Structure 1
C-alpha cells in the first residue's frame, strides 16, 4: 500500500497542527527505515533548512536511497541553491504585480509571496506560482520580487515551517491536506501490474490525437501485457514520479504543459513518448524543413517569410509562383495553414499569420487527392493511411466549415500494400528526429513522394488508424513501452 510520511526537524515544528502518525522527526526518519516491499512511501520533507550536508539535506538524500518519493528531491535542493531561474514566464510580471499591489504600491521596490504546494494567496500570481512549483517541487517556497524600472524575480527560497505565523499556518495546513489527497488519492493495496504507465489526456480537447474508444483500447492492451495505463490530466504534474512511463495522448506544443510533462518525465528517468526532443523537433515546421533539406530528403519547394520584409516576400513569390501555401511554424491539424492565389490574398493572410509568429513558411502548392500518413514507432513502420481532402476543400481538415472542423475520408491499408518509396522516405524522415512514435505526412505525385511534415504524437483513432490492424496496433505500442520499461528496470542494458 501507499504510505505518506511528513518529516519535521523538531517535534515543536508540528505543535500548531493536529497530531498524526504520519508525522515523524528528522532524526527518527534518518535512524529508522520506513516502508517495506509491499508499500510505496512518499515523503514530504519539512525540515527547517536544506543546506548542503545539513539534516534536511540528508532526509531527502536517504529518502531517495531508500526508494522513497520525496519532496523536495536532492536535485530540487541543489537547483534552488544555484538559483536556477531560467524558463520562467515573467514577461507580464510587471503588469501582474502592478495590478494587485495596494494604492501607493507603485512606490514599492520589493515584494514577496509564499507558495504552498504551488498555491499562492494572490490570484494574479497563481500561474507564476504554479510554474515555480513545477520547476522546483518544494512544499514551502518564498518568491521575492524587486523593481528597478520593471518587476523581476530576485530569488526563490525554501521556507521553514517554524517561520509561519497563524494565518500562514492555516493556509499551509489547507494546502497540505488538498495536495496529499490529490497526489495519493489512489492507494493500492498491492500492485497487480508489473509497470504503471501514465497516459496524459485532455477530455475537453476538441481534436485530440486519440478518441475515447482508442484510449480505452490502449488501457486494455496495456493490461494484457501487465501494464496499468492510468489516464492523468495537466493538474497531475506532481504525480508523475509514481509511474514508470508517460504516454502523451494530448496535442503537444513546446510552450505548454505537455512539454513540461515530457521534460519532467525524462528527468525522472521514465520512459516517455513523446520525448521532449521529439516535441521540439516536430512542432516547428521551419526546423523540420531545414532538417529534411539538410538530409537531402524530398520536400515541396519552401521559402521562409520574415515579418516586415516586403521585398523578401516579392522575391519568394517570384521563385514559387501562385498558388502557394502559408504556414505558421507550430500549427496542427491543418490549423494556421492558408492557401493564397494572388498577391492581395498573400498580403492579407501573411498579416494575420504574422500576429502569431515572426517567421512563416511559404510552400509551393502540390495538389493530390489524398495525403499518405505512415505511422512509425522505434524506427519501424506500424500503419499506413490515406487521408483524403475534405469535400470541396484543399485540406484534410476544413476549419471554415460550420460547426466543428470537417475532415475528408480515409483508407487504412496493409503496409505491404503501401508504395515502397513512400514507406522508405517516411522512415528516412524520422531517422534524425528520434526513436519515438511519429506520423509522417507525405504527398505522392506520380512515383515521387515528398515529405510534408513529421508529427510527434500522431493520431491513433479507433476506426481510423486501427482499421487494418485492430487491437494489434495498440498492442504494438504497449509492447514498445514494455520493452523500454524492462530495459530501464534492468539498468539500461542492451537488448
Structure 2
C-alpha cells in the first residue's frame, strides 16, 4: 500500500483527529525536510487552510505534482475553484441532477448548502450529486451553495473549507470520510508476477445494452493476461483511482455529458493509453458533426439536412430536398434511440416539434431501406471484424424500443473481412480515418452499387457470440495487442503510428 502524507498549515489543526505518523506541516513538506516528501510513491492529501494562488496550500499541490506525487486537490482543481467562470463550467448537469433530487423529495426550499467530505454527504437523496461534484472537482472538503430561481436550481457559490472551520459533528463526518477514502482510493491493485502493464476496463454491470457482454469481458481479461497485461474491471466510483493504471479501455456506452467522457479526459491528462480517447468520443457521439465531417471529406452519406425549427418553410424545404419518408435524428442518440421515421407532412411536423424539444438542431436524412446494416470494426486504420445486422422483425431499425421499456433486435451474420464487398470496406476505412486511430464501428447501408455511411461508433459492440464468431479468441487478442503496442511505444518514448 502506498504511503499517505496529510499536509496542514499547523499540526494543531489536526488535534481533533486520530494521531497519525503521516501528518506533516506545509513548511516541512515545502522544504523537503523528510525523505518521504520527494518519494514518487507517496499520496498527498493537502488540507491547508487555503489554496489561493501563491499561498502555502497552492505551493504544496504545485510541488507535489512537480515531484511526481498524486495530490488532492490538484493544481488544476485549485485553479478551477478560483473563479466562478471556471468552476461554473462543470455544473450544468449538476443543477439538473439537484432539481430532480429535490423534486423527488418534495422539497420546495429556496436555498440549499451542501458540505462534501471527499464527495460524501449525509443529506438524504443527494449522495449521487455529491459524487458527481467530487468527480469533477476532487477536493477534501467543499461547501456548495445552490439557489432556486424561477423554479430551477442554479449554482450560487462553491468554496473550500478548512479543518478549523468544522464543528464537532462535521469533524466526525470528515474523519469517517477520510478513513473510507484512504481505504478505497490509495490502495494499489496487486500486479501479478510477470504482468508488464495494468489496464483499467471501465464497465457498468447495470447497463441494459452494454457494448460488451460478460463473456466478452472475461475474454478481454484472458487475452490481456496472456500478453502480460492485467486487465482490471472498474466502475464509475473508481474515478480517483484511475491514475494507478497504465491504460484505460472503455467498455461502457459513452456520452459527452457522462462520466465515461470524464474518465477518458482524465486518462489522457494522466498520459495513459486510452480507448476510447476523448477526441473520438466528441467526434463520434454527435451526428451533426459526423454528417458535416463526412460530407466535407467526400465520404458518402444519405442526402442530409440540418433543421433548426418546425416552421412551414422548413417542412416544405425538407420534403423538397429529401422526399418522404425521411428519418429524423437528435445529435447524440444511440442504439436507435432519438431516431424517428416520418411518412407524411403532418408526421414530419409533429416529429420535428418533439425532437427540437431535446436539441436545438435536428438531423434529417433521406430514408434508405435495406434488410441489414453493415458494421465494419476498425482498429487503428485496419479492418478488424465485419457483421451484418438485420432489422428487427416488423420494424425499420435494428433495435426496436417498445412501450414498457422492452427492446428487441434483429438477427446478425458475421463474416470474414475478406468477404466484405471492396467498396463497403474502402468507405468504412475512409470514414474511420476521419475519426482518429482508435477502435470504431462503422455502420453502412448498401443498395446495389450505392454505399453510404450511417454513423461511426466510438464504442462499438464486441460481444461474445456475435462480433467474435469469425475470429473467436483472436478478436480479443488483437485488441489487447494494440494496447500492448501503444503501451510499449509510450514506455520507450516512441510516436504512435
Q: How many residues are paired up?
A: 491
Alignment correspondent of 2:82: 81
Deviates more, 1:354-363 or 1:143-152: 143-152
Q: Is the 8 A contact 2:199 2:230 kept in 1?
A: yes
Are positions 1:115 and 2:112 aligned together? no
Shift of 1:249: 0.7
Shift of 1:17: 1.1
Alignment correspondent of 2:137: 136
Are positions 1:408 and 2:410 aligned together? yes
Alignment correspondent of 2:424: 422
* TM-score (normalised: structure 2): 0.89
Q: Is the 8 A contact 1:120 1:129 kept in 2?
A: yes
Are positions 1:15 and 2:1 aligned together? no
Alignment correspondent of 1:44: 45
Label 1:114 to 1:227 Cα distance change in 2 as closer, same or farther (>3 A): same
Partners of 1:279 and 1:169 in 2: CA distance: 41
Q: Is the 8 A contact 2:95 2:155 kept in 1?
A: no
Are positions 1:222 and 2:224 aligned together? yes
Are positions 1:469 and 2:471 aligned together? yes
Alignment correspondent of 2:343: 341
Q: Is the 8 A contact 1:88 1:131 kept in 2?
A: no
* TM-score (normalised: structure 1): 0.89
Partners of 2:412 and 2:103 in 1: CA distance: 51
Label 1:144 to 1:116 Cα distance change in 2 as closer, same or farther (>3 A): same
Deviates more, 1:457-466 or 1:357-366: 357-366
Alignment correspondent of 1:177: 179
Label 1:93 to 1:257 Cα distance change in 2 as closer, same or farther (>3 A): closer
Label 1:482 to 1:325 Cα distance change in 2 as closer, same or farther (>3 A): same
Partners of 2:186 and 2:142 in 1: CA distance: 22
**Secondary structure at the counterpart of residue 3 of structure 2:** strand
Label 1:144 to 1:204 Cα distance change in 2 as closer, same or farther (>3 A): closer
Alignment correspondent of 1:302: 304
Shift of 1:455: 0.7
Q: Is the 8 A contact 1:96 1:124 kept in 2?
A: no
Q: Give matches, 1:126-205, under 5 Å.
A: 126=127, 129-144=130-145, 152-185=154-187, 188=190, 193-205=195-207
Shift of 1:301: 1.0
Q: Is the 8 A contact 1:119 1:175 kept in 2?
A: yes
Partners of 2:192 and 2:341 in 1: CA distance: 56
Partners of 2:493 and 2:145 in 1: CA distance: 41
Partners of 2:381 and 2:462 in 1: CA distance: 17
Shift of 1:135: 2.5
Partners of 2:320 and 2:54 in 1: CA distance: 67
Q: CA RMSD in A?
A: 3.1
- Unaligned stretches of 5+ in structure 1? none
Q: Is the 8 A contact 1:440 1:455 kept in 2?
A: yes
Q: Give matches, 1:474-493, under 5 Å.
A: 474-491=476-493, 493=495
**Secondary structure at the counterpart of residue 440 of structure 1:** strand
Deviates more, 1:433-442 or 1:159-168: 159-168
Label 1:370 to 1:190 Cα distance change in 2 as closer, same or farther (>3 A): closer
Deviates more, 1:204-213 or 1:88-97: 88-97
Shift of 1:209: 0.5
Partners of 1:397 and 1:97 in 2: CA distance: 31
Deviates more, 1:76-85 or 1:131-140: 76-85
